[in-house]
Chains A and B, each alone.
Chain A
Amino acid sequence: MAHHEIRLTGSGGQGLILAGIILAEAALYDGLNVVQSQSYGPEARGGASKAEVIISDSEISYPKVDKCDLMLALTQASCDKYIDTLKPKGILIADKSVDNIPKRDDITIYILPILETAQKDLGKPMVSNIVALGGIYEITKLVSRDSLEKAVLRRIPRGTEMLNKKALEEGYNLIKNHKEECYGDGC
């Protein structure tokens, strides 16, 4: 691994900034360099929201993500807004609720029921971000599993440890259970 730029997108309130912080912290535990940033402003309250993480084994100068290697899209609006920022050969992880999957044959696309898993299987839509992190881990192995779990447990509210561990587990399992929902050369 050299340099990975990740953009987590969705709508305000889905916990994407926290997910970005957790992912960054996990990379830090793995001894990697990391910068996490986010867009503030009207976007962060309702419309399309995004959190950005750069993970690298060398020094990171320019702190912003321009074209990304990995993109998470939890909503149609955010998918539409940011899809053009995904590099060729990049990976898109889209929630199942994103009906209109972009027509790009130069990327790998995973379609996973992230929101549904949080809502129905776990009964808590608020853990969608943690389910998504489990999925990102399983697909990319950008960070180690131990570090990811440690980072999750450090950043979540006390008393929700079991729920969040379960959410991570469900996230890991999403890939195995939805192997057929992958499109592109990288599957």
Chain B
Amino acid sequence: MGERFVKLMQGNEACVDAAIAAGMKFYAGYPITPSTEIAELSAEKLPRIGGRFIQMEDEIAGISAIIGASIAGTKSMTATSGPGFSLKQEGIGYAVITETPCVIVNVQRGGPSTGLPTAPAQGDIMQARWGTHGDHSIIALYPWSVREIYDATIRAFNLSEKYRTPVILLMDEVIGHMRERIELPTDEELTIINRKKPSCPPEEYKPYKVNEGDIVPEMAGFGEGYRFHVTGLTHGESGFPSSNGEVAENLIRRLVGKIEDNKDDIVEVHEYLLDDADMAVIAFGSTARSAKSAVDILRTEGYKIGMFRPITIWPLAEKQLEELSIKLKKVIVVEMNVGQYYLEVDRVAGKNTKVEKFGKVNGELITPEEIVSYIKEGNHA
């Protein structure tokens, strides 16, 4: 075990360092506040390790380039904020249907449109789930500290490689820009997953055939001697377009199923003081930091309250929320939007417990005092 490396690090910086640790060798994007440091630091650091950075002409080009790089066998990432995330949806859908591993970071700011460029918000929760058209599932992670940004970034790459899917790393301005103490993991502590390469000779390769016991098809890199076709059109095992209904049905069911059927592996949550609680705050990202402070304050005043924090936002922590709803009298979903995650919590937990929402959309982080005041007196911000 090497000596632990402790330093002061910014959230966006931790994202870049972790991406490189996970094996990122290519970044393409179009810088946008509050994610700009991710582009800047990728531009600085990637060439030093033999990687490439390209500033593209726009957001769509950014995601298109990383999809191309990933198909060529290179772990790739792009970062953006709300306005750019909207533009990237076309590419995200393409990565979903072509099963191309890639990581898309969205450091959220106030929206819609250009909104509040420098202020935090959590308004892209549903867009992360349903931003691109068509039936699909998606993986989205949402860390709450600089260290967790590091871990979640590595996990985002690992999940994208394992499930051959785009993974969205959601952050918000507060955690992207703040600096805090981080204890970096040693190399021995890191688990890095790489996509499975073809086990058959090139002439037998079917790019979209899932082998017995595997979750996803084996993935050859362009230029590695395996001939294959990649298309956004519905396709069968050969990878060539097909409008056959059965092929379409099988493909979409498989794409959705590979994520939804593996929730036990993908979904990660953080529970705080829930063992004896009769009430819980549900929050994520920077808002969860306020929620935890609020829980600490309320505990000193005798409230039996805890916090439930989904680190995996999508797929939904359905099983965990259901279990929670059975033992609690009330849950309060606190988020910097008008109620997005709330809708899902209410769908799952609403039949067993009371579900309330508390949100703010003025570009300011919700404070612990506001949460305390809401819980004690029902005061809205």
Would B118 and A40 count as touching, CB distance under 8 A? Answer: yes
Contact with B along A2-16 (1 / 0, CB 8 A): 000000000000000
- A24-B8, A40-B118 are contacts. A61–B292 as well, Cβ < 8 Å? yes
Residues from chain B with Cβ under 8 Å of A64 in the complex: 174, 365, 367
Pick from A28, A33, A37, A41: contact of B178, CB under 8 Å = A37
Contacts of A61 in B (CB 8 A): 289-290, 292-293, 296, 368
B7 touches A (CB below 8 Å): yes
User: What's the minimum C-beta distance from B117 to chain A, rounded to whole angstroms?
Assistant: 7
What residues on B are CB-neighbors of A24 within 8 Å? Answer: 8, 179
Let me know if B286 and A63 touch, CB within 8 A: yes
- From the candidates B33, B180, B181, B368, name the one contacting A40 in the complex (CB within 8 A): B33
Chain A residues near B177: list those with CB within 8 A: 37-38, 40
B117, B118, B119, B180: the one within 8 Å of A63 (CB): B180
Instruction: Report the bound CA distance from A58 to B118 in whole Å.
Output: 29
Instruction: Say whether, besides A37-B174, A41-B119, A62 and B179 are in contact (CB < 8 Å).
Output: no
| Distance of B377 from chain A, by nearest CB (Å) | 19
Give chain B nearest CB distance to A183 CB in angstroms.
Answer: 31
Contact (A21, B8) CB under 8 Å given A61-B290, A62-B289: yes
Q: How far is the CA of A41 from the CA of B173 in the complex (A)?
A: 12
A181 at the interface (CB under 8 A from B): no
A39 CB to closest chain B CB (Å) equals 8
**B31 an interface residue at 8 Å Cβ cutoff?**
no
**Tally of B interface residues using CB under 8 Å:** 26
Closest to A24 in B: B8
Binary CB contact string for chain B from 163 to 188 against chain A (1 if under 8 A, 0 otherwise):
00000000001110111110000000
CB atoms of B181 and A62 under 8 A apart: no
CB distance from A152 to the nearest CB of B (A): 13
Q: Contacts A36-B178, A64-B174 hold; do A28 and B292 have CB atoms under 8 A apart?
A: no
Is A35 interfacial (CB-CB < 8 Å)? yes
Asked if A25 lies at the interface with its beta carbon under 8 angstroms from chain B, I say: yes
CB distance from A56 to the nearest CB of B (A): 10
A105: Cβ under 8 A from any B Cβ: no
Which of chain A's residues 59-116 have a Cβ closer than 8 Å to chain B? 60-64, 66
- List the A side residues contacting B175 at CB < 8 Å: 63
**In the assembled complex, B34 has its CB within 8 A of some CB on chain A:** yes
Given contacts A28-B181, A38-B177, contact A62 B8 (CB under 8 A): no
Instruction: State whether A41 touches B118 (Cβ < 8 A).
Output: yes
**Chain B: minimal CB distance from A104 (Å):** 22
Find residues 36-55 in chain A having any chain B CB closer than 8 Å to their own CB: 36-41
Residue of A nearest to B180 (CB): A35
Question: Could you tell me the distance between the alpha carbons of A39 and B173 in the complex, rounded to whole angstroms?
Answer: 10
Chain A residues lying within 8 Å of B368, measured Cβ to Cβ, are 61-62
Known pairs A60-B180, A61-B289, A62-B290 / 11 extra A-B pairs, C-beta < 8 Å: A21-B179, A24-B179, A28-B7, A33-B181, A36-B178, A39-B118, A40-B173, A41-B118, A63-B174, A63-B178, A64-B365
| Contact surface of A with B, Cβ cutoff 8 Å | 21, 24-25, 28, 33-41, 60-64, 66
Per CB-CB distance, the 5 closest pairs between chain A and chain B, nearest first, are: A41-B118, A40-B118, A61-B293, A36-B179, A62-B293
25 examples of A-B residue contacts, CB within 8 angstroms: A21-B8, A21-B179, A24-B179, A28-B6, A28-B7, A28-B181, A34-B8, A34-B179, A35-B179, A35-B180, A36-B178, A36-B180, A37-B174, A37-B179, A40-B33, A41-B118, A61-B293, A61-B296, A62-B289, A62-B290, A63-B175, A63-B178, A63-B180, A63-B365, A64-B365
